[in-house]
Chain A
Amino acid sequence: MTLVGSILIDGTAYAMILFMITVGLSITLGLMHVVNMAHGAFAMLGGFAAVELMSRLGLRFELALVIAVVATALVSVPIERFVISRVYGRPELDQALLTIGVAFVAIALVNLWLGASFSSIDLPAWLSGPVDLGFRSFPRHRVAVIVLGCLVSAALWLFIGRSRFGVKLRAAVDNPGIAQSVGINTSLLYSLAFAIGAGLAALGGIAGAELLPMEANYPVKYLVLFLAVVAVGGQGTLFGTFLAALLLGLVDTASKYLLPDLASISFYLTMLLVLALRPQGLLGRKDVA
């Protein structure tokens, strides 16, 4: 039973990190139908911003986290307005190529600044070390990530499900043409949604820095991982991304515990299986695929 508990906790923590980073990508995909290959760059940006704020300005972790997330969200606005929006409506290939180019530029800039070394984020005392959950002790950081992930999911669900912004967002996802004709400012909506996605990615990047350390190559190194979560979950569905992150996170963790030799194959096989049986993803809409 310790094994099951371990798989659940470790797998869920990993899944929460994946969810936080990729939920923005899913929203962007569902809303603007853009495959943003540079999405990982926002997670990286947030992570490095936090590192620099803490090391150069001596800010404490909590403050650095908030500032880094907000800063990333703000930085994403001009990127979306001036670069990404230029490929709305264009074929997927063009979008993929453009955003890969943006990712390369981001990597190159970080490389010039930092070289190939990786950076870690110094967690404050209340997040480090182990916490005893009875049957096993876990790194406190993992438990905190699970709690954070649940809070973020709940907040998003409330926000998108209940708020006016959420209503407009869902309308625009369902039918952009009609949404525009009833007076919804879709451009503003897109920018806001993109910024929220970028901010969440930054949050996920910082929270996940223990597992996915900050390095120049980050956006490309984990690109397939992030895209896999979105594809398996289905585009534009929050709950789908959540489920996919859980599925892939748990499968990956379980195989590390039970069949370590096959751990990397099991991830891709799971993705293959889900997409072969349900090309639109777990909760995606059928007409998209």
Chain B
Amino acid sequence: MVDIVTSPARTEPARWRAVVGPELAVVAVGLLAAIIFPDDLGFITRINILAIFTLSLALVVGQAGIGTLGQAALFGAGSYAAALWALHVTPEPLSGLLIGALAGAVVATGSGLLILRTRGLTLIMLSIAFAQVLLEIANKAAFVTGGDDGMADIPVNPIFGVVAFDFHSRVGFGYTLAALVAVYFCLRRLVASPFGLTCRGIKGDRLRMRAVGAPVFRHLLCVYALGGAVAGIAGALSAQTTQVVGLSNLDFELSAEGLVMLAIGGVGHLGGALLGVPAFMIVRHVTATINPNHWLLVIGLLLVVTVLYLPGGLYGVFDKWRRRTERSGS
């Protein structure tokens, strides 16, 4: 448990705001979006799911400095695990989420043992290779995974036996939003804890961390496995809300998209995931409606501009604004 050391002058409401403020903001924005765009709940549900996936990247890449381009392997592992669980054991959704998290963590541990002793280009390539091999196995094991046709008609029971998933994605929206808030809360606590501090230390200077006796490899493996669990949850949510799983859940394109969304939002903060994903998805949706071919140009330029001029991403901009208003406010 993290003890927030407060000075006697700080009042109770402020402490409360620090503990759950951001989560409430997420809930508020989510509900507002649902009210204003009631026909787009399917789209918002997908944003929620991808936000959870990108949070896993924010943890692994942003906090611990593990530059991976194979995170889709963990998302896909969660998807397929949840789908198989629903088809062969029980379509109860919450247990499916746990299974997805478990699958993601297990696959991440396996992957981590292979890649975490390396850095830079080697780590990138190993993460890609691992994900591609997993994809090939899923492709070949068509009797289990449906191969490149994927799995469809995945059953999903009502949540708590009462709240059934509906065609308009209202329940799906609420379900994924709740999951997003829960994951965000847990990750925020983790990042603020000594564990999170160690992660950032390793990201900053691995050699120095070793010199002070931190068990670097074990720590990285832990973070990576946690990130895998989060990605697995996102994958399971995808399987449950769309009732469909395909090889695209394991593909490189998803890994790359996640990284791009995080970059736009801001790599260094968890909040970057929450800003980058909606920005990316909405701009893509709007651009694609106007002219699908311009999307790639837009995202390419956006990336170049973000890296060169907005290194903190959208979160950096938001943070500067917040600090400026706080300073002028108090």
Contacts and interface: CB of A to CB of B under 8 A. Distances in A.
| A and B touching (Cβ–Cβ under 8 A) | yes
Contacts of A289: 118-120, 122
Given A100-B256, A227-B121, A279-B117, A271 B304 contact: no
Contacts of A228: 125, 129
A281 to B, nearest CB: 7
B247 interface: no
Nearest to B300: A104
Contacts of B299: 101, 104
A238 to B, nearest CB: 17
Interface in A69-93: 83, 86-87, 92-93
Interface string A85-128: 01100001110111011111111110110000000000000000
Contacts, number: 119
B308 interface: yes
Contacts of A271: 125-126, 129
Nearest to B120: A92
B118 A279 contact: yes
Interface residues of A, number: 43
Nearest to B308: A86
Given A104-B296, A105-B301, A111-B296, A227 B307 contact: no
Interface in B216-265: 252, 256, 259-260, 263
B294 interface: yes
A156 to B, nearest CB: 21
B29 interface: no
B252 A264 contact: no
Nearest to B119: A289
B114 A96 contact: no
B67 interface: yes
A4 interface: no
Contacts of B307: 87, 94, 97-98, 101
A263 to B, nearest CB: 10
A289 B118 CA distance: 6
Interface residues of B, number: 39
Contacts of B136: 264-265, 268
Chain B interface, DSSP helix/strand/loop, else mixed: helix
B209 interface: no
A224 B300 contact: no
Contact of A276 (B114, B120, B301): B114
A22 to B, nearest CB: 12
Contacts of A279: 117-118, 122
B67 A98 contact: no
20 contacts: A35-B120, A96-B124, A98-B308, A100-B256, A100-B300, A102-B300, A104-B303, A108-B297, A109-B297, A111-B296, A224-B252, A227-B125, A231-B125, A265-B137, A268-B132, A268-B133, A275-B129, A279-B118, A279-B122, A281-B122
7 nearest CB pairs, A to B: A101-B303, A104-B300, A108-B297, A105-B300, A108-B296, A231-B125, A101-B304
